[in-house]
Structure 1
Amino acid sequence: MVSRRSVLRTVPLAAAALTATPGQSRRLDESSTSTHAVRVPPDPATMAAAATAVRGFSADLYRELASTRPGGNVVCAPYSVNLALAMTRAGAGSTTADEMDAVLHAPHPRPGALDSGLNTVEQTLATRYQDGDGVARPLLTTANALWTRLGLGLRPGFQDTLAGYYGAAPHPVDFGGAPEVARQEINTWVSDRTNAKIPELLPSGVVSPDTRLILTNTTYLKAAWKYRFITTATTTEPFTRDDGSVVDVAMMRGPFDPMGYQEGDGWRAVDVPFAGDGLAMAIVMPTRDDLAAIEANLDVTWLGALLTGFGIATVQLRLPRWTFRLPAELAALLSGLGMPTAFTSQADLTGMSTDPALRIDDVLHETFIAVDEKGTEAAGASAVIVRPPSIPQGPQFFVNRPFLYVIHDRFTGVPLFLGRVHDPLATGP
């Protein structure tokens, strides 16, 4: 199980080259001047590579997180974690930067292509969904922020990258004199941007007087189904868990309408559309082995093929309701994925600040999801904490056993939320 208090560590490094404008790199040093007062325009040419990178990181993150919770529900918002780590990567150098690029599946040339691509993805999704009402059109919002200790000297190039590509301006807070006040301020910012679904991303004690920076992302979704489930026809039906035990759950009797459908080796899947047809929830059920066998093989290729391989069939759908929340610390997981240096005294984050000897101390993530007859509400939040060392009749699809789900944008192929339902009645870890 992933503990609530795992830690990511980070320390002194050499200066890193960061992108000043798309396609142009420069060295971070004291003479750098801030050039990005506004968000850099999206570059459509970077979209495909960035979407592939997000899928790769999403598959890796979910696969490792799921392996820590055998027999339990899982949910995460890999897109949120990706953005928080990419902002951190903007201040990394040497081996730390190389390892983070590998974990993030960063496209070439590094690091500019990652920053430019994620900027394009984020702004494209915002254009489509940030003004939605959550009913006729999905509402999807993201927000990024940089929280800094009072008086901390930031590298201008680091500020440029975060402001221009992530829309994240520094928020000075009194980590040194009033860490609890700072923690509450950050938690309020997160709660306000997740419709209070994640009220306390940072638990008590995680912010200390020696905290230097915290980088945060929030991702919030509210979307109604394109085809409404019939509330009056909802019944209780058996749901068989992987261990063979059976629980009675509220099974929503869904639409009998055209939607995405495909079959693979040992699994089949349906893609349930949200209103507006841009977002959907892909639901994958095993047909041979248990769900763990599918999860063990989940990688960038498999996830990309899933999200782009749906044909259309008229599906008779039954789906359980579920509500679930999972707080997690990702330090050990990310280290295991290939960025261990960021957790040691050899970490290099000198691209962030003139303050020597910084390390990533914690990477916290929390995700909430609620699915019912009307639609889905989901929220994810991530924080990287930096201090000195010490995200016609067709097939029947009765979802009555553990399943994997992926909420994704159909246009870009970007996965937003991934999860597993092992027990629809469970509401937390």
Structure 2
Amino acid sequence: MVSRRSVLRAVPLTAAAFTAGPGGFRSPGGSSTSADPVRIPPDPATTQAAATAVRGFTADLYRTLASTQPGGNVVCAPYSVGLALAMTRAGAGSTTADEMDAVLHAPHPRPGALDAGLNTVDQMLATRYRDGDGIKQPRLTTANALWTRLDLDLRPGFRDTLAGYYGAAPHPVDFRGATEAARQEINTWVSDRTNAKIPELLRSGVLSPDTSLMLTNTTYLKAAWTYPFSATATAAAPFIRDDGSVVDVPTMRGPFDPMGYLEGDGWRAVDVPYAGGGLSMAVVMPTRADLAAVEANLDATWLGALLTGFRFTDVQLRLPKWTFRLPAELGALLTDLGMPTAFSSRADFAAMSTEPALRIDDVVHETFIAVDEKGTEAAAASAVIVRPPSIPQGPQFFVNRPFLYVIHDRFTGVPLFLGRVHDPLVTGPA
């Protein structure tokens, strides 16, 4: 019998977002143990379906995760989680694959459309943002890798799919004889690609000598606001929490500038642009009831309408500064979303390798975000382990109560980071 520690395990699906601050910016990178594979050319015809799939998974993941954190701050990076799960799905079959396709909102025909669409979106984002300096133009980079046991025999189709559609090259490591060294090597790879903001994706004890393979993804973002806030104008201002209590929080005060604005049933939103015009942060605040009423309607359709519905107008913005980190285990959440077979003894991951009885043991996700007067920096790392002055005319947008935020690409409508702030002073789970 295969032990629970000899199974397919998805672990720290980690996202980080943080402010450009003292110390400057160190470009993510680092040496690779394998040559970067040649990617399959993007197919623009697959963009819309892939973006729709990402929005669907984003809404489901956020809504379910938020329900486990009642009354608390939330942040997650569904784009990173989705890429990690999509790479895992490339090795799945039968019911396991069908359930993962449904959870990932995979477009038809399955499974090739999901791989092709994510490949297109990822390369389009890279083309626009990978060479940005993080100041005048956002910098957004992604990297995928396949870490394999030294003697593991990979299925050619699985290896080729990961190389062509995800750019994930095999990195042979000695999971069996040098487990700790393998953990350190992978952590270094992740840290190098997240500007050292995720220095220890894999905690001690996560890997074991029977680990067969692991899939990793990193996503890094640094973006300055188009209209930076003045640090000297930041001052304490009241913030009304959902329970009616009031706290004074450092609140940034912007000038009267053009940005996206939208009103809906029980909410209104502003789309705060990052320099370069391609990325922005949508901030959604309820106009009646509380934030839970808005979250109850958050689905793929609502999210798509939000991200594509903004109209430019001059807005006077007040926005709190905040920093927050949330670690979360997603195994039970993903099971509830509709992919229980992947976590069971009935899982079918035979398309990965000749290794028998693989299954997902758990999915762990950790996200960090910090926002200040200069802008936002963000990084996501994911791993799947296989084992076995006077007020002008126009709207004012004073963010003084709990709100949602979505960092997204305007061109494709792809959400990258999604969260809520119930209390800007809270920096992590209690």
With the length of structure 1 as denominator, give the TM-score of the two structures: 0.90
Q: 1:319 and 1:8, CA in 2 relative to 1: closer, same or farther beyond 3 A?
A: farther
Deviation at 1:199, TM superposition (A): 1.3
Distance 1:43 1:367 in 2: 31
- Matched residue type, 1:233: A
Q: Matches of residues 1-400 of structure 1 in structure 2 within 5 Å?
A: 10=8, 38-388=38-388, 393-400=393-400
Q: 1:257 and 1:225, CA in 2 relative to 1: closer, same or farther beyond 3 A?
A: same
Deviation at 1:9, TM superposition (A): 6.1
Q: 1:174 and 1:271, CA in 2 relative to 1: closer, same or farther beyond 3 A?
A: same
**Maintained 8 Å contact 1:362/1:386:** no
Provide the secondary structure at the position in 1 that maps to 2:363: strand
Distance 2:321 2:136 in 1: 21
**Maintained 8 Å contact 1:144/1:166:** yes
**Maintained 8 Å contact 1:10/1:387:** yes
Identity %: 83
Deviation at 1:227, TM superposition (A): 0.7
Distance 1:277 1:7 in 2: 46
Deviation at 1:361, TM superposition (A): 2.1
Deviation at 1:279, TM superposition (A): 0.2
- Matched residue type, 2:213: L
Distance 1:238 1:133 in 2: 35
Shifted more, 172-181 versus 402-411: the winner is: 172-181
- Matched residue type, 2:427: T
Partner residue in 2 for 1:31: none
- Matched residue type, 1:76: C
Provide the secondary structure at the position in 2 that maps to 1:319: strand
Provide the secondary structure at the position in 1 that maps to 2:361: strand
Deviation at 1:291, TM superposition (A): 0.8
- Matched residue type, 1:251: T
Distance 1:223 1:113 in 2: 30
Shifted more, 229-238 versus 404-413: the winner is: 229-238
Q: 1:281 and 1:37, CA in 2 relative to 1: closer, same or farther beyond 3 A?
A: closer
**Maintained 8 Å contact 1:251/1:321:** yes
With the length of structure 2 as denominator, give the TM-score of the two structures: 0.90
Deviation at 1:208, TM superposition (A): 1.0
Q: 1:167 and 1:37, CA in 2 relative to 1: closer, same or farther beyond 3 A?
A: closer
Deviation at 1:398, TM superposition (A): 0.5
Distance 2:320 2:37 in 1: 47
Q: 1:8 and 1:67, CA in 2 relative to 1: closer, same or farther beyond 3 A?
A: farther
Shifted more, 92-101 versus 228-237: the winner is: 228-237
Shifted more, 260-269 versus 362-371: the winner is: 362-371
Deviation at 1:175, TM superposition (A): 1.1
Shifted more, 340-349 versus 172-181: the winner is: 172-181
Provide the secondary structure at the position in 1 that maps to 2:373: coil
Runs of 5+ unmatched residues, structure 1: 1-5, 12-35
Distance 1:101 1:276 in 2: 34
- Matched residue type, 2:49: A
Deviation at 1:214, TM superposition (A): 1.1
Per-residue Cα deviation, 1:197-233 (whole angstroms, up to 9, x for no partner) = 1111111111111111111111111100001112111
Per-residue Cα deviation, 1:292-319 (whole angstroms, up to 9, x for no partner) = 1211221100000000011112110000
Aligned structure 1 segments of 4 or more residues deviating by more than 3 angstroms? 6-11
Per-residue Cα deviation, 1:373-410 (whole angstroms, up to 9, x for no partner) = 0001111211112112xxx6211100111110000000
**Maintained 8 Å contact 1:201/1:364:** no
Provide the secondary structure at the position in 2 that maps to 1:114: helix
Distance 2:343 2:255 in 1: 48
